[in-house]
C-alpha cells in the first residue's frame, strides 16, 4: 500500500487528463436514453469483456463497469471537436480490420466508426521512454467520463491511438484498468515480459503497477476502462 501511494499518484497516470477544480456544471442535452451508436458500442464492449475466455481479473473489473453503465448518464451538448485528420484515418483503418474478429467486434467497430468524429480528442503528457515522435503520434478521447459523450464521474471508457512506431511513455497506473486492443500492439505490465497482443484480446493491469505500451509498423488503437475512486488525499473531484 505504501509503495502504491509513492509510485501511483493520480497525476502521473498518463491516460488521465485531470485539472484540479470544483465540479463543473456542463451544458447538458437532456435525453431519455443514450444515442443509439454509443449504446451499440457499450453493448458490444460488454459482450466482449464478459466472454468466457476473458481472464478472471479483467472480467471481474469489467463486470462492475458494465453494471454501472446500466444507468445512463447525461449527454453533453456537442460543440466543435478537435482532432488530427491523419490520426483519425489511422483509427478508421484499424477499425476496418476489427470487423473480421467476431460479430461482437464487428458491432463494436461499426459503432465506433459512427462516433469517431463526435469525440473530443486530446494529447497526453510525455514521460520516460516515450518515443521521440510521441507528441505528434498519439491522441486520446473519452466515450464515457467527465466531459465525454456521456458525462459521468463514476467511471471512464477511453480510446487511445498510437501511430506506427510509437512508444507510449512508461508510467504507473492509478486505477485498475482493463484494456481492449483493437489492433496489434505490445504491452508490459509491472515486471512481466512484453505481451504481443492481437486485435480483440482483453488485458488487465492492477492499480499501482507500471504500464508500458508500444507498436511497430501498424497503428495501435485500444479501448480502456476503469472505475473512478477518490480518497488517499486526492482532490474529491477532478475535472477532465
The Cα-based distances of 92 to 97, 109, 142, 237 in angstroms read 9, 9, 17, 34
Element (H, E) at 59: helix 56-68
Instruction: Tell me the per-residue pLDDT of 192-219, one tens digit each, with 9 for 90 and over.
Output: 999 998 777 899 999 999 999 999 999 9
**Cα–Cα distance measured from residue 168 to residue 61, given in angstroms and rounded to the nearest whole number:** 23
pLDDT band at 20 (very low <50, low <70, confident <90, very high): very low
Q: Which residues, in sequence order, are CB contacts of 45 under 8 Å at separation 6+?
A: 108, 157, 180, 223, 225
- Whether the pLDDT of residue 71 is over 50: the answer is yes
Side-chain-facing half-sphere of 6: CA atoms under 13 Å: 3
Of residues 18 and 60, the one with the higher pLDDT is: 60
Cβ neighbours of 86 (radius 10 Å):
10
Q: Structure pTM?
A: 0.87
Highest mean pLDDT among 13-17, 29-33, 209-213: 209-213
The Cα-based distances of 174 to 25, 104, 225, 231 in angstroms read 26, 29, 12, 12
Instruction: Tell me the per-residue pLDDT of 108-132, one tens digit each, with 9 for 90 and over.
Output: 999 999 999 899 898 888 888 989 9
Residue closest to 145 by CA, chosen among 237, 240, 17, 33: 240
Q: What is the sign, positive or negative, of the torsion defined by CA atoms of 204, 210, 216, 219? A: positive
Amino acid at each position: 500500500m505504501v509503495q502504491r501511494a509513492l509510485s501511483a499518484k493520480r497525476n502521473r497516470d498518463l491516460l488521465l487528463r485531470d485539472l484540479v477544480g470544483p465540479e463543473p456544471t456542463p451544458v447538458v442535452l437532456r435525453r431519455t436514453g443514450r444515442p443509439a451508436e454509443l449504446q451499440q458500442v457499450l453493448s458490444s464492449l460488454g459482450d466482449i469483456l464478459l466472454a468466457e475466455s476473458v481472464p478472471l481479473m479483467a472480467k471481474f473489473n469489467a463486470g462492475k463497469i458494465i453494471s454501472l453503465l446500466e444507468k445512463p448518464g447525461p449527454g453533453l451538448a456537442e460543440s466543435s471537436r478537435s482532432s488530427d485528420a491523419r490520426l483519425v484515418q489511422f483509427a478508421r483503418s484499424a477499425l476496418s480490420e476489427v470487423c473480421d474478429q467476431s460479430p461482437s467486434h464487428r458491432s463494436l467497430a461499426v459503432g465506433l466508426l459512427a462516433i469517431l468524429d463526435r469525440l473530443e480528442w486530446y494529447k497526453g503528457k510525455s514521460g520516460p521512454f516515450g518515443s521521440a515522435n510521441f507528441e505528434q503520434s498519439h491522441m486520446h478521447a473519452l466515450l464515457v467520463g467527465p466531459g465525454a459523450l456521456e458525462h459521468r464521474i463514476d467511471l471512464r471508457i477511453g480510446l487511445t491511438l498510437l501511430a506506427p512506431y510509437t512508444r507510449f511513455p512508461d508510467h504507473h497506473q492509478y486505477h485498475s484498468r482493463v484494456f481492449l486492443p483493437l489492433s496489434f500492439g505490445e504491452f508490459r505490465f509491472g515486471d512481466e515480459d512484453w505481451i504481443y497482443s492481437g486485435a480483440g484480446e482483453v488485458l488487465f493491469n492492477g492499480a499501482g503497477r507500471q504500464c508500458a505500451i508500444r507498436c511497430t509498423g501498424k497503428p495501435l488503437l485500444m479501448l480502456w476502462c476503469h472505475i473512478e475512486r477518490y480518497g488517499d488525499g486526492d482532490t474529491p473531484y477532478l475535472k477532465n
